Amino acid sequence: MKGRLRHYLPFIGVPNVVLVLGIAVLCLGTILLSGGRPAALPAAIAETWFVVHGVPVTVDGVTLGAIPLLPAVGVVALIAWRVRAATKDRVSILDLYAIAGLVILIPFTLSAIAWLMVADASAVFPVTPPAVYKGLFIPVFIHLMGMACGMNAKLWAALCRRVGVPVEFVGITGAMINLALRLLAAGAVVFLVLLAFGVPRIGELLDAYPTLGFSGVAGLILASVLYLPNAAVGMLAVLFGTPISIAEGSVSLFGAVVPPLPPIPLFAAIPGHVAVWAPVFLVVPAAVIIHFFIRRRLGGFDVVLFAAWAAVFGLVSGLLAGGNVGAYGWIGPSPWIFMLAAAAWVGGIAGATWLIASFTRPRVEEEEMIEGDPQGTPAPKPEPKAEPEETAESSESAEAGLQEDKG
């Protein structure tokens, strides 16, 4: 096992080192350009580490719980890229254990160090360390997501065979990820269209804070870019018919109570009132989901799995995209309502597709049989396709790993 850890350490360790060095350079440059105190560098590095991984931070008594998701998406992509490189050749179960151990241990250790740095700096600077469970486990979760995305489908299939999970689980999970990306893309497009129509409101938001200056406006524009994934998640929740909360107000397709908004350009996409025809936008997620399922053959087990994964997607994305922001309170979709809505939309349309196909497919097959052979002789069953060589190799590698483990 030590040999495996040494072999895979560069794949998993180097990205973390690059990430830490990049954060350090960014913080040092910011402190030097802004004339800040060099003594604040350790706390700045630690807080930035948490922000990059979506962990809520507290500065000067104000908690920022709605963290921009774009940096966390970048971390997931970075880890996935290196895991894909580490697993491109034949790997065994023990190799996966080694990779998973590094993926968990390295960010956990770095997060623990960052938490201690913030706790130590809190005696001098107005910073407060996050809750221990959030500070230690959210970064690990982000890195595990990267590992999961980096493992290809054939490797997942071999792993499922080894642990006794139906291989169909892999295909449905990959399909749900594809559907989730399509829905998020649709939400992002609708949001950008609304933002384009709301450009005049950007000036109104900035005019409410005349002391911002050029650097302040540039910082708000950068923050808007970093919050684009959050906006896509929030827009998708609205398209599902659920509200998003902003302080004491809320916005949905059926009405809006808009409180005074922060001077972030993204909020210009929120209209002052909602038109009576706004529920028409419900057709957007419906069209995306119907287009996705229209040519798929589903079973009852598939429908249940799609609904379950949709619920997980809604809950996780809602928790990551929203959070408490100082005096504004919770900003973003309600994770629990979003979870139920996602499961209802995906499960409902998938279930309807399955039921319709169950009633129509036997009739279509009977008509095809009669047209092909008047006597109704069924067509010969196609020969099963040979298992892909790479999948078989992955399975053999997994078996070899298990044998080594037993030995």
Report pLDDT for 213.
67
Last residue of some domain: 91, 123, 151?
A: 151
Nearest to 191 by CA among 135, 223, 233, 157: 233
Domain extent, residue 313, equals 165-361
Question: Are 178 and 107 within one domain?
Answer: no
Counted domains in the chain: 2
Indicate the pTM of the whole model: 0.84
Last residue of some domain: 92, 119, 151?
A: 151
User: Each residue's pLDDT tens digit in the chain (407 positions)?
Assistant: 777 888 889 899 999 999 999 999 999 998 988 888 888 899 999 999 999 999 999 988 888 888 999 999 999 999 999 999 998 877 788 888 899 999 999 999 999 999 999 999 988 888 999 999 999 999 999 999 999 999 888 888 888 888 888 888 888 888 999 999 999 999 999 999 999 988 878 777 777 666 666 677 788 888 889 999 999 999 999 999 999 988 788 899 998 888 877 778 888 888 878 888 999 999 999 999 999 998 888 888 889 999 999 999 999 999 999 888 877 888 989 999 999 999 999 999 999 988 888 887 655 455 555 555 544 445 555 554 444 444 444 445 544 444 445 44
Q: What are phi and psi of 250, to 5 degrees?
A: -155, 160
Q: What is the dihedral of CA 19, 24, 25, 28, to 10 degrees?
A: 160
Angle between helices 93-121 and 2-34 (to 10 degrees): 30
Domain assignment present for residue 206? The answer is: yes
Question: Are 96 and 72 within one domain?
Answer: yes
Domain assignment present for residue 116? The answer is: yes
Indicate the burial class of 340 (C-beta count within 10 angstroms; 0-12, 13-18, 19 or more): middle
Residues 6 or more apart in contact with residue 325 via CB below 8 angstroms: 63, 64, 65, 66, 262, 331
Query: Could you tell me if 280 and 337 are in contact, meaning their C-beta atoms sit under 8 angstroms apart?
Result: no
Report pLDDT for 202.
78
Per DSSP, helices labelled H in 87-152 are 93-121, 132-150
